[in-house]
Amino acid sequence: MKLLLTSAGVRNPTIRNALVELLGKPIADSTALCIPTAMYGHPGAGLENAWEFVAGRSEQPMVELGWRSVGLLELAALPSLPSEQWIPLVRRADVLLVSGGDALYLAHWVRESGLIDLLPALEETVWLGMSAGSMVMAPSVGDDFIQWRPPGAEDRALGLVDFAICPHVVQSPDQPGNSLEEAAQWAATMPCPTYAIDDETAIRVVDGRVDVVSEGYWQRSSA
């Protein structure tokens, strides 16, 4: 699986170009499945924001990029469905559009739905994450970002990359988001390398190689 881990979606040409490169074809020729699951676990996101994401009316460009087709993949529904009803659709999709919300809630349903077992086989599929949809790939998210706790109350994300992400970093205290000081304090508590990224930045991971694509601000810290 190819990863493009954003803070706030595809907000600039640099991130968009990186996405097209990962797809290997134009967005207009690519099929997508959107995953809004993380939003249900976040008390500040709510059902209205989930609808806005699915409908392509959010402030984080993902669904509205001009895909050939977009389907809805609600992970919490999958355990009640026969696998043949959804697995072929996932295998055929060029990209998974994964919303923000609560990263541990998302990690829980990636496992419970069975999607986690399918991910290693999706070698050419792009996981386009936004906020929690990016953070979920880390080994853990850190206490600062825990709002919903899974059974056992462990801070355990998917661990498909060896670093953690602090999204929505802002350089001015007057802006909404995570300040540089807050990001640094969070990074000091994490047991792995970290990236603090603003909304104009994404992290690209292909075959274990990590690089940053950005028109904004980002910072990497070692554990």
Instruction: Convert the pLDDT of each residue in 60-78 to its tens digit.
Output: 899 999 999 999 999 999 9
pLDDT tens per residue, range 183-221 = 999 999 999 999 999 999 999 999 999 999 999 999 999
**8 A C-beta contact, residue 75 and residue 107:** no
DSSP code per residue over 125-161:
-EEEEETHHHHTTSS---GGG--S--TT-------SS
**8 A C-beta contact, residue 133 and residue 7:** no
The two three-digit tokens of residue 89, written as one number: 């659709």
H-helix or E-strand spanning residue 109: helix 103-113
pTM: 0.95
CA angle 129/134/137 to nearest 5° reads: 120
Residue that has been written with the tokens 């074809």 in this structure: 25
Q: Hey, which residues does 31 pair with through a beta bridge? A: 69
For β-strands 95-98 and 126-130, DSSP reports them as parallel
194 — phi, psi (to 5°)?
-135, 155
SS3 177: coil
pLDDT tens per residue, range 83-133 = 999 999 999 999 999 999 999 999 999 999 999 999 999 999 999 999 999
In the chain, which ranges are E strands? 2-6, 31-35, 69-72, 95-98, 126-130, 164-166, 169-170, 178-179, 194-197, 201-206, 209-214, 218-221
Burial 106-128 (b: 16+ CB within 10 A, else e): bbbbbeebebeebbeebeebbbb
Give the residue-averaged pLDDT of 127-150: 93
Give the residue-averaged pLDDT of 161-171: 95
| pLDDT, position 151 | 79
pLDDT tens per residue, range 24-51 = 999 999 999 999 999 998 887 667 788 8
| pLDDT, position 171 | 81
What's the rounded Cα separation, in Å, for the pair 22 and 159?
21
Structural domains in the chain plus CATH codes: 2-221 (3.40.50.880)
